[in-house]
């Protein structure tokens, strides 16, 4: 796999993953494939947005029946081995007892490439409780996550990726909340026409002790529209009967 091909392949995976995680909702996708851009002193900026849907359990409110629609926004800057990210989303949350709309929490991240080919990256994320707690758009507490991302090209058009992480959850008084673990492993395939398809098996421990952990699968497809823009879509389902889907548009500057 050439460096240019690896960059196209992994960029599509990463755009789906980052936006999914930025939602702070119940999407089980954890596709954190490593961006394989060649190390250089030049800055690279990536801007992503899209439309996401999730129906099932919520990590924000202690509910096993919620529907969330979201328009996320993520910007990341990479320079050499170091990268920074900022993400947030406009949320529309509906349960049997309430409906709320507004901006959700904000996540800041910093990542460092420990090694290349295969790529191993360590990432630190801080979720800031900028969403409205009274409206059910946030827990009102900050969370801190530490994770490792792995990406390895098996051959010219096939790659594997994996993520493992731990989240230190900001506990709300009176709620049975807990620190959580999450993990994902998957494989992607790149066609000659630059269409990527893939499958991920995902696990996320529930923030609330009385809700089910989420173990499921996600599928994705993406297409490079030109040298700067990539369109992606994904869908997922897990054993807590949570369904998720979304589309993203990623632009590289």
Q: Which domains does the chain have, with CATH numbers?
A: 3-252 (2.40.160.40)
The pair of structure tokens assigned to 88 is: 């947030």
Alpha carbon distance 230, 128 (integer Å): 28
The pair of structure tokens assigned to 139 is: 């827990």
Q: Is the pTM of this model over 0.85?
A: no
Determine the pLDDT at residue 25: 34
Contact predicate 195/154, CB 8 Å = no
Exposed, middle or buried: residue 135 (CB in 10 Å: 0-12, 13-18, 19+)? middle
Determine the pLDDT at residue 56: 86
Determine the pLDDT at residue 149: 93
Calculated CA dihedral for residues 85, 2, 190, 74, nearest 10 degrees: 10
The SS3 call for residue 235 is: strand
Question: Which residues in the chain come in under a pLDDT of 50?
Answer: 1-40
Alpha carbon distance 173, 177 (integer Å): 9
How far apart, in Å, are the Cα atoms of 110 and each of 47, 123, 152, 171, 204? 16, 6, 21, 23, 21
What percent of the chain is predicted at pLDDT more than 70?
81
pLDDT tens sequence across 65-100: 789 999 999 999 999 899 999 999 999 988 888 889
pLDDT tens sequence across 155-164: 778 999 999 9
Handedness of CA 106, 135, 24, 195 (dihedral sign): negative
β-bridge pairing 195-204 and 180-190:
antiparallel
Determine the pLDDT at residue 104: 92
φ/ψ bin of 26: left (φ > 0), alpha (ψ from -120 to 50), beta (otherwise): alpha
β-bridge pairing 82-95 and 119-128:
unpaired
How far apart, in Å, are the Cα atoms of 112 and each of 12, 25, 115, 147, 175? 19, 26, 9, 11, 34
Determine the pLDDT at residue 31: 38
**Residues whose CB falls within 8 Å of the CB of residue 141, separated by 6 or more in sequence, listed in order:** 129, 169, 170, 171, 172
The pair of structure tokens assigned to 156 is: 């010219």
């Amino acid at each position: 796999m050439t460096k240019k091909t690896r960059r196209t392949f992994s960029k599509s995976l990463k755009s789906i993953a980052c936006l999914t995680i930025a939602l702070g909702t119940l999407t089980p996708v954890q596709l954190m494939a490593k961006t394989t851009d060649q190390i250089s002193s030049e800055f690279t900026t990536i801007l992503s947005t899209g439309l996401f849907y999730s129906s099932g359990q919520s990590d924000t409110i202690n509910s096993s029946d919620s529907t969330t629609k979201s328009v996320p926004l993520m910007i990341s800057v990479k320079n050499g081995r170091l990268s920074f990210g900022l993400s947030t989303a406009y949320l529309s949350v509906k349960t049997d007892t309430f409906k709320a709309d507004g901006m959700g929490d904000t996540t800041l991240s910093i990542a460092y490439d420990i090694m290349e080919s295969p790529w191993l990256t360590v990432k630190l994320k801080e979720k800031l409780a900028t969403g409205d707690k009274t409206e059910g758009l946030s827990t009102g507490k900050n969370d801190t996550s530490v994770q490792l991302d792995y990406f390895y090209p098996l051959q010219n058009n096939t790659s594997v990726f994996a993520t493992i992480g731990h989240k230190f959850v900001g506990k709300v008084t009176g709620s049975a909340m807990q620190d959580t673990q999450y993990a994902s492993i998957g494989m992607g395939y790149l066609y000659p026409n630059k269409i990527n398809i893939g499958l991920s098996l995902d696990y996320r421990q529930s923030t609330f002790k009385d809700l089910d952990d989420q173990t499921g699968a996600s599928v994705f497809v993406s297409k490079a529209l030109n040298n700067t823009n990539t369109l992606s879509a994904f869908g997922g389902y897990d054993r807590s009967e949570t369904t998720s889907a979304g589309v993203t548009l990623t632009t590289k500057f």
